[in-house]
A and B are shown apart, each in its own frame.
Chain A
Amino acid sequence: MLKKLARSVREYKKPAILTPVFMIGEVTCECIIPMITAKLINSIEAGCEMNMIVKYGLLLFVMALVSLSFGALAGMTAATASAGFAKNLRHDLFYKVQTFSFSNIDRFSTSSLVTRLTTDVNNVQMAFMMIIRITVRAPLMLVFSSVMAVFVGKKLAFVFVAIIPFLATALGLVIYKAMPVFKGAFKKYDGLNNSIQENIKGIRVVKSFVREEHEIKKFGVVSEAVRNDFTKAEKILAFNGPAMQTSMYSGMLLISYFAAKLIVSSGGTYLNVGALSSMLTYSMQILMSLMMVSMIFVMLTMAMASAKRIVEVLDETSDITNKENAVCDVKDGSIEFSDVSFKYSANAEKYALSDINLKIASGQTVGIIGGTGSSKTSLIQLISRLYDVSQGSVKVGGVDVRDYDITALRNQVSVVLQKNVLFSGTINENLRWGDAEADEDEIKRICELSQASEFIERFPDKYETYIEQGGANVSGGQKQRLCIARALLKKPKILILDDSTSAVDTKTDALIRKAFREEIPDTTKIIIAQRIASVQDADMIVVLDNGCISDVGTHDELLTRSEIYKEVYYSQNKAGDSNE
């Protein structure tokens, strides 16, 4: 898994390797400095020989500058390496998602993809910086300081033999106890966020039912659960500081007592006052690095979960790819389904579509009617190869869709999705998704076709009107008409409307269909609709029921023989009523 992640370091390998190298320099300096300090103190003790003080002072000064340079360099390379690594990770994730097929997308929810690209990458970035800075620094410091402590303090260094295991055990225990509590707490925290989100989205329901108090009470319970869990976890963590202090203080007392004894009894030959002070510094450095090691451990465990989620996306392979020597030319808009069966995932029990046989000639208008769950959407998504069939084949222009170059195919088969999205940007920008080169006249013409020009012209900024994210500032019907215009701009050979006029009033709906008939007669048009009126005049109407074709025919034919069609029709148009 880590190998997979490491692949994203790429051009930042140099700073990533330089950081620990600089770190070694810094740590070395930091370990030498106490030794020089000891000499300095000894010079003071020895009656303040000025020339010695100046000598060691200058040396120390130089060491400080060297340490500073190494530290600063390591800091800068670490920043570049980690920020760069994060950039590459985001890049790889985003590019990966762009290769996803619909079924890949279905497997990850939108919000989980967003979290992976943001929060998870941030966590990994922090962990990465930790690794290249501290993971080298802390153990190195531990070793260097210990060596120096033995070197300077001789026998005194045995004090550490008692203290280090104590602190290591204490820190280990704290982590061992706290981690599971934290994990549980984070799960509850997700629940908390979920409940807030729900309330923001459903505020109209809350207010309509006057359930503010109820929601506040519910939220209180969730929020308190989070509080209790985190408090519990942090109470365990509360042992960390005191454990550290215990080690630090006992080390200091032991060292000072024995040092005093040794110095005095040896007459300052075995050990001196300067050594005492540097021993104290080394003991601090040793304990601090132990503390850091434990911190890294916690950080890494937390980042591990994020890393796993990132790799999950990177490992996902798109199940729809171009064949070699793919066909790039779509001859015409004819469609043929032969013995098509389809299910959304290989291990799904039920087929969404089974035994579909259907032939549509180029230029025909086809309506599709059927209840929810009758797989209308599944059917049309096979045409532009948004999903691959499980059995059988779908042919467009006489060629199996799997033999086409995907881009070429999708440029000729334009689908207006049921759950459609506009992007933040002007109307012009949004429409040009269909054709980047389209000029103003072309866009205007298309908008007239899709009955969108009527309301666009009423906006003060007309085609330059800014659309908010998700099209939040246009109504449902307006959004649908813009989406149709966007698809029309592609000038496709096949145009598919998946319930794309449901929020458009019947009159406009009829005008759109009229425009289709008159302006793009050669384009094959497939219309999924709830309203019979939307498909009534189609050349052919397909009635889907439970994933199977129940009947195919014209409006009049179906009215005489299809029970389902009749039922739908009469529920919408009471017999003998006005619209004959």
Chain B
Amino acid sequence: MTTLAEGLRLPTNGLDYTLLALYFVVVLGIGFAARRSVKTSLDFFLSGRSLPAWVTGLAFVAANLGATEILGMAATGAQYGVAVVHWYWIGAIPAMVFLGLVMMPFYYRSKVRSVPEFLLQRFDRSAHLLSSVLFAFAAILIAGVNLYALSIVVEALLGWPQWVAIVVAGLFVLAYITIGGLSSAIYNEVLQFFVILAALIPLCVIGLKRVGGWGGLSNSLEASHGPNFLTAWGGTGIGDANPLGANWLTIILGLGFVLSFGYWTTNFAEVQRALSAKNLSAAQRTPLIGAFPKMFIVFLVMIPGLVAAVLVPKIGTAGSGLTYNDAIPYLMQELLPNGVLGIAVTGLLAAFMAGMAANVSSFNTVFTYDIWARYVKPGRPDGYYLRFGRLITAIGVLASIGTAFIASSFSNIMGYLQTLFSFFNVPMFVVFIIGMFWKRASMKSGVWGLIAGTTAAMVNYFWIYKQGIIAIPTDQGANFVSAIVGFVAGAVVMVVVTLFTAPKPAAELAGLVYGTTAPGLEEPSPSSPLRSSGGDPIAEGDDAWYRRPALLGWGAIVLAAACYLPYSL
């Protein structure tokens, strides 16, 4: 939950507000202009599966680059130092590459329209309904929390009352998604990606100059926080104490393997961007193209965090008057003149709105296709589901506005609920990975894997850790361990349940599991004689070396590993 200190009011003027107003006009304009492309429900929910890879790739990054992420990761940088890079280089990058190279062919070729729909095809209705309902609730909750966080930042920085910010931002999101659907959400995410860069790069440049460059920054921080603050792995030996409260093993397995893979490969708000790509090659390249900017964005959030830790050595403690989350707003106030300041405010607001829009545009899809069209009103003509989709989008936004108001009075409950839902992501990954690679995994094993994994992660976190049965130094460290526990429990239960229940008929698994082929989907494309190394038809131009998924994916892994070198030796 974002909270900002008093006294961070920015000296904005007419120039800054002009830049902000221009952005809002363009956002609405995109919504209206995208309207004429929405003819079917597939256009509304998945952009007709027809967008180019660079668009979906940047949207893939931007959907995650909400302001809670930007402020939160700068806060992590100010608190833990260079260790924040783990969330990017060992967390996000391998998971994004795995999604693109290994999982995307199953997702995209099976033509599922959502992540829960894959569970329906691979397992059964109980796994499908459980994941659909939980996802729908979590999406509204997170959208509401985003909106509430936005209102706190806007109140602190611009002085608008909280309710004004909640209603204005909520209605803008409502308008552009209800009108233009996913195309409008994705286009705005691409725009937001560039505005965020234009906001953060100047902040880093001036911030570094203020503290005497990288050399001056490291000298100050080594003197005040010790040498481990500027290394990625310093102090993470098993049994060593470090502020993160995690050792190298829990970082690699818990954060790197389970948590990040769970988030990046099964969170529909992310996967939806790839499913809207125009063909399998573009869908595979979506997370791979996203991986390259993603691995450098860490510098743009880490540097402001570190600079803030130099300028306000006591940041995060009661004496300084600033919390860790204030790092970026504090630097904006201190360093940016009007003009660039307006761009930075626009970037932050854009990031909040895009973070909310990503949740709303994935919520409406799951609610319409997976809940309404499957269990409540099946078999209606497509036009009905398109109209229903628009209606449920509006209802979803209004519900998240309501959630934001509830969050403003009961912020502890909201934080608690968020933790609760976060544990559901963990077993999703184990269920997917076993489901995609083990043909025998039975129909019933899906839902039991989900339940067992979630329960185990929660028991570990709320009972074994919170009650102090096993000592883990920090919440962060406990989170990593809970993820590992949830993963193992989910896997074990899936195997045991599979041994005692019936497998899915082989014919229904075609194209969903490794080693099967979907009939009718591997046939030559009429428009192009080209084939990928896997034998799939590929479009004209996609055979170029720089568009080969394997090269992009392994390139990203090697580059991320190389990024670690300067901070490890």
A-B complex is real: no
